[in-house]
Chains A and B, each alone.
Chain A
Amino acid sequence: MFRRLLYTCLCLVCLLAVSSACQKATPPIPVPEAGEGAITGQVLGLSGRWKEGPFTIYAAPYVGGEDGEGFYVLEPALHPHDELKANGYFQLNDVTPGQYVLVVGPTPEEAIRVVDDQQKPRVFTITAGQVLEAGKIQLEP
């Protein structure tokens, strides 16, 4: 009986520990304000990129055509940004709807773009009232 109780307690402690770890690693889903959107995800391949962190992810508004050619402009102090959590998790909340290129780095000047499987800059479309779950994303090699 005592063994069973001890086992149960240990299981509960383990579950709590796992739950706590999960809470640390995976941020809660954000709730954007009315008329705004949000984006969450996990940046992979950070190790060895820069000498030291912390690292920040920035959303740079993108203006381009259907041909995939365009510009992105970042005002680091004003445009959406978030310091990456453990394991590269991030959430950008209250993002004005539109198209964005994401960049990551220790400073805006040193930042590197998020790219797609073809290594081209990936453009994310933010919609009002919705949270875009970008999943695992990669940086330009």
Chain B
Amino acid sequence: MKQRLAIIPTLLVLLAVMVLPGASTVHAATAPTWTSIIHYFNPNPDPTNPPSGYQGEELNVIFFNNLTGDVRDLGTNLIRLRQYQSGKLLVGRTLGIKNFEGGAVISATVPIVAVYKQTVEGATPYSPVLYTSFDSGLAGSGKYFIPSVQHSVLFDTKIGIQNVESQKITITLNFYDQAGALAVVPPVQQIVDEQKSFVFKASDYLAEGFDGSLVIQAIVNDGLSTPAKMVAAAQEIQAGGRRAYAFEGMKEGITKLYMPSAPCEYGSNTQTATLDVQNTGSAPATIQAVFYDTNGVSVATYTPASSIPVGAKLSINACDDSIHDLTAGKNLVAVINASSSSIAAVGKVSSKDGLLTAFTGQVAPTEASSDGKYRTLVPYVEWSATSTGYRTYITVLNASGQAAQDVRAIYYTPDGRVSKAKTHTLASASNPLASNGFRSTNPSAARVIPRGTRGFLGAVIVESDQPLTVLVRVIRTTRVRNYTTLGDDYNGIPYVLSGQ
């Protein structure tokens, strides 16, 4: 039985925007060969015992064009997957398909996870843009939240919403300003066909200067107002610059969110985080953001002067005047607690040398595998031999109330061979990871780069005895003035082994 698992609203229409200003010297007069890259990973350890509902080990890619209703199925060229195998699918399109606006679905016969990456190579590269695939469990039922939407001189948020129902749905876009007022009245409504996506820019509906949030509502067109399932992601590309990033929306809020990167003026390039916190509940939200150092020691607590209105967002700067003396110069993480309502959040980390990343606030995993271990998947890990290539840094945050005594990052090469996998131990009984503390790993620190090779490419599984949240930062250096560091973040994907 074939299951469609990884739903990726590819936002292909965005690619043209990204590619044109950064056209490489090689492709200056023509379209790029590749428009995007999908990094996939098969975490299933036992091919002879697939989870219920699965059979065989194959991967397929299916494209949907919203404008024409066209469906393109790669079917005849299925990719066979072995246990722990990872790889990349480079996607291109022939010219003449400029009117493509839609999404892609990865169809697989085993549970897989994927990361979607958009890049522009050449002499004047853009930041890579990264976001994780959605599986059916991440589809919102009736609502989806985008904590940060802006239309400014520099950024015009583009948002893709994909209908994962097998019938038409009607979506309603409720844009909120930071005071909690609806910015567009009446709210925008749009019918979206089954499995299709709706892509728009903030500037399509909002005046310049808007900096707020979005609540997406969706119902099935069945006359019964049944809540509809959908997923949504957002992407922002700097006008006149090289910064670009993406983040996933959240299907629901929660009262505690983990932000695995919240520095304040940290490092020589003064990395600083902004945390956009959205009220997803039905009452004003009272929140606190607590900043922790690597040892899990509380460094500062930010308490806003007022509550967050329903649907609206609040932006918290890790270097806010009220906490600056405590956080300045430090590499920190943050935990955001909410009372009287639930919240969603997006973290953005910027530096003075060009870096600007984004990631969605993370929820602590609640379910361990039957062996008692919590697992988080990192489908795409790269370490280029040169700093101008991509290099991946992984941060692991202990999201439990007690110290973790067994945290390991297991690096798998693309062929997935267990005999070639290498383990980087991040915490042990003699070197525990404190609650709210964090540690990092990368292929260089883990010593997984074979001598004489061009670097490392593969996937990682983080195993631990306590719930963790994992953030992955992919960066590169360039010679572009003011943009010597470019990069984006994506979240590790919690995974529970089945059939044990």
**Interface, chain A (partner B; CB < 8 A):** 49-50, 60-65, 67-79, 96-98, 101, 103, 108-113, 119-121, 123, 140-141
Contact = CB atoms under 8 A, between A and B. Distances in A.
Contacts of B75: 63
Contacts, number: 99
A72 B92 contact: yes
A101 B92 contact: yes
B52 interface: no
Interface string B69-90: 0101111110110000001111
A80 to B, nearest CB: 10
A108 B74 CA distance: 19
B1 interface: no
A68 to B, nearest CB: 6
Interface in B311-342: none
B88 A76 contact: yes
Contacts of A60: 90, 92
Contacts of A79: 77
B96 A75 contact: no
A102 to B, nearest CB: 11
A65 B70 contact: yes
A65, A74, A141 — most chain B CB neighbours (10 Å): A74
B94 A73 contact: no
Interface string B29-53: 1100110010000000000000000
A54 to B, nearest CB: 13
A101 B74 CA distance: 13
A41 B92 CA distance: 23
Contact of B91 (A73, A112, A140): A73
A75 B89 contact: yes
Contacts of A74: 89-90, 92
List the 8 shortest-distance A-B pairs measured between CB atoms, nearest first: A61-B77, A69-B97, A63-B72, A74-B90, A69-B96, A121-B94, A98-B76, A72-B92
Given A61-B77, A63-B73, A113-B33, A72 B89 contact: no
B414 A109 contact: no
Contact of A77 (B34, B63, B87, B100): B87
Contacts of B80: 78
B445 interface: no
A61 B76 contact: yes
Contact of A49 (B26, B93, B414): B26
Contacts of A113: 33, 92
B121 interface: yes
A22 B161 CA distance: 57
A72 B36 CA distance: 11
Contact of B74 (A63, A68, A119): A63
Interface in B370-416: 414
A109 B120 CA distance: 10
A90 B94 CA distance: 23
B358 interface: no
Interface of B: 26-27, 29-30, 33-34, 37, 61, 63, 70, 72-77, 79-80, 87-97, 100, 119, 121, 414
B29, B73, B93, B414 — most chain A CB neighbours (10 Å): B93
Nearest to A50: B26
B414 A77 contact: yes
A125 to B, nearest CB: 12
Contact of B79 (A64, A75, A121, A141): A75
Contacts of B119: 109
Contact of B33 (A49, A70, A112): A112
Nearest to A99: B76
Majority SS of interface residues in chain A? loop
A70 B29 CA distance: 20
11 contacts: A63-B72, A69-B94, A71-B74, A71-B91, A75-B87, A76-B90, A78-B80, A109-B34, A110-B26, A112-B26, A113-B33
Nearest to A79: B77
Given A73-B61, A112-B33, A120 B74 contact: no
Nearest to B71: A63
Nearest to A123: B94
B91 A109 contact: no
B70, B88, B90, B96 — most chain A CB neighbours (10 Å): B90
Contacts of B70: 65
A113 B216 CA distance: 40
B74 A70 contact: no
Nearest to B72: A63
B90 A70 contact: no
Contacts of B77: 61, 73, 79, 96, 98
Given A65-B72, A72-B92, 4 more contacts: A70-B93, A71-B91, A73-B77, A103-B92
Contacts of B33: 103, 111-113, 140
Nearest to A61: B77
A76 B70 CA distance: 26
Nearest to B100: A69
Contacts of B121: 109-110
Contacts of B97: 69-71
Given A96-B77, A110-B121, A112-B26, A71 B90 contact: no
Contacts of B29: 141
Nearest to A49: B26
A138 B88 CA distance: 26
A17 B399 CA distance: 71
A71 B97 CA distance: 9
A62 B268 CA distance: 46
A118 to B, nearest CB: 10
B40 to A, nearest CB: 9
Nearest to A65: B70
A78 B93 contact: no
